[in-house]
Structure formats: C-alpha cells, structure tokens
Amino acid sequence: MNIVVCVKQVPDTWSERTLRESDSTLDRDAADAVINELDEYAIEEGLRLAEAHGGEVTILSMGPDRATEAIRKALSMGADKAVHLVDDALAGSDLLGTSAALAAVLGQIGFDLVILGSESTDARTGALPAMLAERLGVPQLSYASKVEVDGSAISIHRLADYGYDTVEATLPAVVSVVEKINEPRYPTFKGIMAAKKKPVQTMSLADAGIDPATVGLANAASEVTGWAKRPPRQAGTIVTDEGDGGAKAAGFLAERKFI
Amino acid sequence: MIGFSLDDEHEALRRTVRDFARQAVTPVIGEFYQRGEFPYELVTEMGKLGLFGLPFPEEHGGMGGDFFAFCLALHELARVDSSVAITLEAGVALGAMPIYLFGTAEQRERWLPPLCRGERLAAFGLTEPGGGSDIPGGMRTTASLDDGSWVINGSKSFITNSGTAITSLVTALAITGRSDDRPEISAIIVPSGTPGLTVGPEYSKVGWCASDTRELSFSDCRVPAANLLGERGRGYAQFLRILDEGRVAIAALAAGLAQGCVDECVRYAGERSAFGHAIGHYQAIQFKIADMEARAATARLAWYDAAARLVAGEPVKKQAAIAKLTAGEAAMANARDATQVFGGYGYMNEFPVARFYRDAKVLEIGEGTSEVQRMLIARELGLGRPAR
Ligand SMILES: Cc1cc2nc3c(=O)[nH]c(=O)nc-3n(C[C@H](O)[C@H](O)[C@H](O)COP(=O)(O)OP(=O)(O)OC[C@H]3O[C@@H](n4cnc5c(N)ncnc54)[C@H](O)[C@@H]3O)c2cc1C
C-alpha cells in the first residue's frame, strides 16, 4: 500500500505565539517549530498500516526550508521517504491554495491512502482534509479514531459526541485522524541515524505544475484585516452554595452552552 | 577552533528524550517518588525508546550510538527526574558496559540483548559495608574456585538496580586470591536468583526514591567458573575504566539536574508575585538564577569535554573527575538555591525542586565522593599519592 502522510511544521504550543505586524501572518521565526501534534498520530497510523499490510510511507510537507526538521523527525520515526514542497511563492497560502498545492503534488506522486491530522494547532480550521479529498476526487473519512484496511476496502470509526459512526469507503481515500487513535512512537537513535540516509525530494511550484496565481498570500481568498491580543483573564464568578450551588453552577455552564 | 554545538543527530536525540521526559515522566514520577516505588512502566518505555542500548552496537541489540549520546539522554532525563536517570545510568554504564567491554562472546550474547532493550537490568557490586572509597582496602568479599564453581562469600552495600523484578544479574567484585601479598580482585557474574545470594529490602533513602538500591549478601553462593568476567586478577584494573566512564555519565546527570533547577526557577520567577511584582523582577532573585545558569552551563561544558575525549579514545581520567566534581557541586548548589526561589513550596514534596533538593546530595557521594575526585585530580597533577 502506498501511504502518504501530510505533515505540517507548526510553532510549539509551549512557546509564545505572535502575529507579525507587517502582514498579520504567524511569526514562525519567533517560536520553536515542531511537527503538528495530530500529524504525529497520522504518521504513527501510517507506519502501523504499512507494518500490518506492507507498503511504503511517504511524508509530504509543504513549508519553508526549516520544515526539513519536521520531515527528518517523521523519517526518524520510520517513514520511508519524503517530498518537500518548498517555494517562496507559497508563503501565506490559505486553505484553498494549500489544498490545491498538496493535491497537485499528490496527483504527481500517486497514493492509495492519504492520512492527515484532523487539524493543525496553529490555524485550527480542520477543513484541509475535506478540501483535499474533494480536489482529489476521492472519499474522505474524517475524524478517525480507528482505521481498518482490508484489501481495497477501508473503514474507520468517526468520533462523534454520542460515540462513533462506522464509515466505509474504497481506496484510494483520504483519512484524517484524532488523537484517540493511537500513541505515537518516539524516534530511536537508530531511527534518527537511518533518517539521514532516506530520500527527501524537494519540489518547487514549477516542479509540481502548480499555477503561482492560485497560491500565496496575495491570492488568498480570505484576509486578516485586524487582530488584537487576547484580553487578560477576568476574575472568575464565585457561586455561593446556599443549598442550590449545583443548580447555579449548571445554570452558569448552560448559559455559555457548555452543557 | 573547537566547538561544542551538537550535530543534527545528537540534537534530534536530545529533543526526543526531552519530549519523552516532559510528556511521559513529568506527569507521573512524583507519585512513584512519594510511594518509593520503582516505575517499571517508565523503564519499559525508556527501553522502547532505545535508551538502554544507546552506546552499544546493533549486533548486540544496541542503537549503534556512542557514549556521548548516552550522556545526553541522562542529561535530559535528569532535567526532569533523577530516579529514572540513575536507573538508566547504572543499568548501562555499570551494568551492561562491563559485559560489553570485558565479556566473552557467549556472555555478551546471553546477557546483552535484553539489557539493551531495557527489558532486563544489570547491577554492579563494588561498594561494601567496610568502605567504597578505599578499594581494595575496604573489600572483604571473597570468591574461591571449588569443583568448577566460584563460591562467593561477603556483602555489598548500596547496589543500584540489584533488586528489581527485572534484574538479571549483578557483577560482583571479589578477592580471588593474593599475589605479592596484595589482594587479587576479579569480577564475577552472579545471575539473579542464584542460591546463596540474598537481596536485602529497599533502603529508605533521602533521594532517588523511585530507584532501586539494595544490600546484597553472598553466602556460599556458587556460580559456574565460566562466569568470571574478564581476566582473573584484572577486576580492579578493568573497573577503573568503568568508573571513569561512570563519572562522566554521573556528571551529565548532575548537570541535567542543575539545568532542571534553572528551568523550574525561570518559570516560577515569572509566575509568583510578591510586593506587587513577579519575584523575577527583583535583582536578588535574578542574580540567584543567573548564578544557577552559570553553574549549569559550566557543568555541561565539563561533561561535554570529558565525554568528547572519551568517544575520541583520549585519556580522560582527569577530565572525568573534574566533570563529576564540578557537576555534582553545581547540582547541589542549584538545588539549594532553587528551593529558596520557591519558598515554602520548594519544601513540599509535590514540587519538582523539592525532589531536586533531595536528589542532589548523592551526586557528591556516589561513583566517587567529591573528596575522591579531588584526590584523582591531584594525583593526575603529580601531587603525592594518597596513602592506602
Ligand atoms: C544511592 C546510592 C547508590 C549507589 N549505587 C552503587 C552501585 O550501584 N554500586 C556500587 O558499587 N556502589 C554504589 N554506591 C556506593 C557509592 O559509590 C559509595 O557510597 C561511595 O563511593 C562512597 O563510599 P562509602 O559510602 O563507603 O564512603 P567512605 O569511603 O566510607 O567515605 C566516607 C567519607 O570519607 C571521605 N574519604 C574517604 N577516603 C578519604 C581520603 N583518603 N581523603 C579524604 N577523604 C576521604 C569520603 O570522601 C567521605 O566523605 C551507591 C551509593 C548510594 C548512596
């Protein structure tokens, strides 16, 4: 099975994240960069499927030069090879641009199964897997907490408030995973050393046959027109229990639609 | 010129162990520590991560790394917790390393693979109730050959990893005869469960509370003659090498603890406020933390230097002693200051700095006291040999 796992490098959620004054995009240099957390689950699932059914795991990452760190880590976890889509013209791409670019590369390199994390910790839209499936014209199996492959049949448990739905499709397909699905492995030193020798193919827009007019900040369909720092946390509401504390607390939560 | 930046692979390893320590060790270690319980699950995870096999070649089930990589792992673990770090240190540097360095092909094949995977642990028994600094003066344990077996009698104190459920062996140093009126010392592998070997209860320790330390006694304990490790009569000489390496490893662990104190204090100094400001606003606190950082950085450079020499095959005795001395004292000083920065919370067991405080002292004692390190440095400088 030819499995492609999409991996995004994001600023570490442990470090302070800020937007740039100049163009309202994330200041990626100011923070430590790591693999998007859910993508580690996607990599793990890819590796497990390849171990169980045979095949290869390819990492696909779109991002600046620095994203090679994330690619190396994915390779040191055990993926076989990687494709790095890197081009200055891609900076600031929105979901439309990103999904178009990734779809173009996927179309070129081919796949049986594409696995992604269900969202990234920086943008948090959670829409990319669906848009990618649409562009590729293949079924999407999103929010998977379990994946099973049997020949060309694939089925997942889709996590829902009430439990899960079982969703089935035929390969090729796009799957997005949630963190319940597995426990990602840490790379071993042997894996780290082996990753040095694994092939990483870099592709530019031209290599992937992507029209520069469809990507980048200038061609984004949405625009950040303004932003503000999160206001400092307000003092909490104190509920005094006069025998009705439970009801008051529940009322407070219900008012804010938490329950 | 020389440089001390890590190459990409060692940096990737450092980050991996750092992530593991933060994600897997931090949340659970306090509970194990307070209960004085050995954290088997964590040791298994460390095994899967390949930490126990770091400095050993792949043919023995190792990771094909080097001693520097192993020290880096200790450093990063000890930034978060020393109990798991010492379990790794003793398991590798004292337990598996002698077998790798001095073992026969059969001994390596039999013992190393499960040790490298962290599924089993090995211990090393040098110290005795009569003294740990003065070897062999304080040694009483004997072994004699009888009908194709070594018969061992005596006892060993403070032996790390010797009583866990996954301990597979202890390498015991014993007096096997006399030549030129000096004791002849040899190393003998004693598998766990050998009749005549009694493993004492876990000591009640000031620190390292989630690690395993026991007293061992040998009473007509018989093992096959083939369990001799290395050459007969070379036991002490062999172990001088093991101890040099062990000192570098302990230095890395101590430097990690010293750095962990800085990590905790930098965060806390920004969070805790008094008299209208974060305490980090006050120069008294800033200077304390600046001194801590200076000590941690010095300790790190000292073990980097010693470990780099070791990997390059250069003489390392003096640098190892300097690293152990510098880092052990840095750890103790930083732990004391970190507790002060945390005030009353620093005295509460549930805060990491309280653990650091309790764990730091032994770093000036184990694998050679600070006095012994000074003796070694002085001897390397050609100053008078200490009296036996
Ligand atoms: C938690 C823990 C784990 C340990 N794990 C192991 C292990 O796995 N295997 C093992 O073999 N050992 C282990 N040890 C033992 C440790 O290595 C010894 O405790 C240490 O070497 C000191 O020996 P000692 O305790 O006998 O002290 P002593 O040798 O009795 O020393 C007492 C004091 O006298 C000082 N001193 C001694 N000689 C001189 C001198 N000539 N000049 C000046 N001062 C001197 C010492 O520095 C010290 O301050 C462990 C110890 C602890 C506490």
| Average pLDDT over chain A, rounded to an integer | 92
Q: Which residue, judged by its Cα, is nearest atom 2 of ligand 1?
A: B158
Contacts of A195 in chain B (CB under 8 A): 12
Predicted confidence at residue B386, as pLDDT, reads 54
Please judge whether B65 and A196 are an interchain contact, meaning their C-beta atoms are less than 8 angstroms apart. Answer: no
What pLDDT does A147 receive? 97
Judge whether residue B387 has pLDDT over 70. Answer: no
User: Based on the domain organization, do B245 and B140 belong to the same domain?
Assistant: no
CA of B15 to the centre of ligand 1 (A): 34
Over residues B35-52, the mean pLDDT reads 97
Final residue in a domain of this structure, among B167, B202, B234: B234
CB of B207 closer than 6 angstroms to any ligand 1 atom: no
pLDDT category, B385, cuts 50, 70, 90?
A: low
CB of B56 less than 8 A from some CB of A: no
Whether residues B9 and A193 touch (CB distance < 8 A) is answered with yes
Q: In testing the pocket of ligand 1, which one of B369, B371, B373 has its CB within 8 Å of the most ligand atoms?
A: B369
For residue A208, the surrounding DSSP H or E stretch is helix A205-208
Q: Which atom of ligand 1 is nearest to the CA of B386?
A: 41
Is 80 exceeded by the pLDDT of residue A121? yes
- Please tell me which residue of chain A has the smallest CA distance to B63: A190
Nearest CA in chain B to A192: B9
* Phi-psi region at A82: left, alpha or beta (left = phi > 0; alpha = psi -120 to 50): beta
| A188/B49 touch (CB, cutoff 8 Å), yes or no | yes
Using CB atoms within 10 A of its CB, is residue A41 exposed (0-12), middle (13-18) or buried (19+)?
A: buried
The pLDDT of B159-184, averaged and rounded, is: 95
Q: What is the DSSP string of A8-40?
A: -EEE-TTS---B-TTTS-B-TTSS-EEE-HHHH
Instruction: Report CB contact under 8 Å: A193, B64.
Output: yes
What pLDDT band is residue B388 in, cutting at 50, 70 and 90? low
Q: Which atom of ligand 1 is nearest to the CA of B90?
A: 8
SS3 A120: coil
Q: For residue B222, give Cα distances in angstroms to A109, B99, B102, B124, B225.
A: 65, 19, 21, 18, 9
Q: Is residue B102 part of a domain?
A: yes
User: From ligand 1's centre to the CA of B98, what distance in Å?
Assistant: 20
Name which of A185, A186, A192 is nearest B9 (Cβ-Cβ): A192
Segment A57-96, tens digit of pLDDT: 999 999 999 999 999 999 999 999 999 999 999 998 999 9
Which chain A positions have a beta carbon within 8 Å of B58's beta carbon?
A: 190
| Residue A213 DSSP label | G
Q: Are B98 and B138 found together in one domain?
A: no
- Report how far ligand 1's centroid is from the alpha carbon of B186 (Å): 20
Domains of chain A, by residue range, sit at 2-230
Q: Is residue B197 part of a domain?
A: yes
Q: Which residues of A93-128 are buried (b: 16+ CB within 10 A; e: fewer)?
A: bbbbbbbbbbbbbbeeeebbbbbbbbbbbbbeeeeb
Same domain, B320 and B261: yes
Indicate which CATH number applies to the domain containing B219.
2.40.110.10
Cβ–ligand 1 distance for B386 under 6 Å, the answer yes
Residue B209: inside a domain:
yes
Out of B12, B54, B64, whose CB is closest to A76? B12
Active site residues of B: 367
What residue in A sits closest to B66 (Cα-Cα)?
A189
Q: Does residue B243 share a domain with residue B177? A: no
Residue B1 lies in a domain: no
Is the residue at B388 inside a domain?
no
Q: Which residues of A touch B50 (CB under 8 A)?
A: 188-190
Phi, psi of A92 (to 5 degrees): 80, 10
Q: What is the pLDDT of residue A18?
A: 79
Summarised one tens digit per residue, pLDDT across range B348-358 is: 998 999 999 99
User: What pLDDT score does B257 carry?
Assistant: 98
Q: Does B64 touch chain A (CB under 8 A)?
A: yes
Give the residue-averaged pLDDT of A232-237.
78
Domain containing B285 equals 237-380
Q: Could you give the residue ranges of the DSSP H alpha helices within B272-314?
A: 283-312
**Model ipTM value:** 0.82
Instruction: Indicate whether residue B367 lines ligand 1 (CB < 6 A).
Output: yes
Confidence tier at B360 by pLDDT (50, 70, 90): very high
Give residue B131 CA to ligand 1 midpoint distance, Å. Answer: 7
Query: Higher confidence at residue B165 or residue B349?
Result: B165
pTM for the predicted model, two decimal places: 0.89
Give percent above pLDDT 90 in chain B. Answer: 91
| Mean pLDDT, rounded, of chain B | 95
B95 Cβ below 6 A of ligand 1: no
Mutation probe of ligand 1 site: the residue of B133, B134, B135, B359 with most atoms within 8 A of C-beta: B133
User: Taking CB atoms and an 8 Å cutoff, what residues of chain B touch A192?
Assistant: 9, 12-13, 16
Residue of B nearest to A191 (CA): B63
> What are the Cα distances from residue A107, in Å, to A50, A69, A133, A178, B215?
21, 25, 12, 25, 66
pLDDT, average across residues B62-83: 97
Span A163-191, mean pLDDT? 96
Predicted confidence (pLDDT) per residue in B190-221, tens digit: 999 999 999 999 999 999 999 999 999 999 99
Q: Which atom of ligand 1 is nearest to the CA of B207?
A: 1
Q: Which of residues B121, B150, B180 is at a domain's end? A: B121
Q: Provide mean pLDDT across the span B339-343.
A: 98
Average pLDDT over residues A20-46: 86
For residue A255, the model assigns a pLDDT of 87
- At the fourth CATH level, the homologous superfamily of domain A2-230 is HUPs (3.40.50.620)
User: Measured between beta carbons, which residues in chain B are less than 8 angstroms from residue A183?
Assistant: none
Mutate to test the interface with A, among B10, B14, B15 (most CBs of A within 10 A): B15
pLDDT mean over A32-40? 91
Please check the confidence at residue B284 and state whether its pLDDT lies above 60.
Answer: yes
Is B386 within the bounds of a domain?
A: no
Check which CATH number belongs to the domain holding B18 and give it: 1.10.540.10
What pLDDT score was predicted for residue A256?
85
User: Does the Cβ of B206 fall within 6 Å of ligand 1?
Assistant: no
Q: What are phi and psi of B107, to 5 degrees?
A: -65, -40
Q: Which of B16, B54, B58 sits opposite A187 (nearest CB)?
A: B16
The answer to whether the beta carbons of residues B284 and B311 sit under 8 Å apart is no
* B387 inside domain: no
B78, B355 contact by CB (below 8 A): no
Identify which has the larger pLDDT, A17 or B375: B375
Interface membership of B80 toward A (CB under 8 Å): no
pLDDT at B240: 87
What distance in Å separates residue B315's CA from the closest CA in chain A?
Answer: 27
Predicted confidence (pLDDT) at residue A139 exceeds the cutoff of 70: yes
Contact B12 A186 (CB under 8 A): no
The DSSP code for A63 is S
Ligand 1: which of B83, B86, B92, B127 to mutate, judged by most atoms within 8 Å of the beta carbon? B127
A56 vs A239, residue with greater confidence:
A56
| Number of domains making up chain B | 3
Q: Decide if B13 touches A, using CB distance below 8 A.
A: yes
Nearest to A28 by CA among A10, A50, A4: A10
Residue that finishes a domain, picked among B219, B234, B249: B234
Torsion angle (degrees, nearest 10) of CA B65, B70, B75, B79: 90
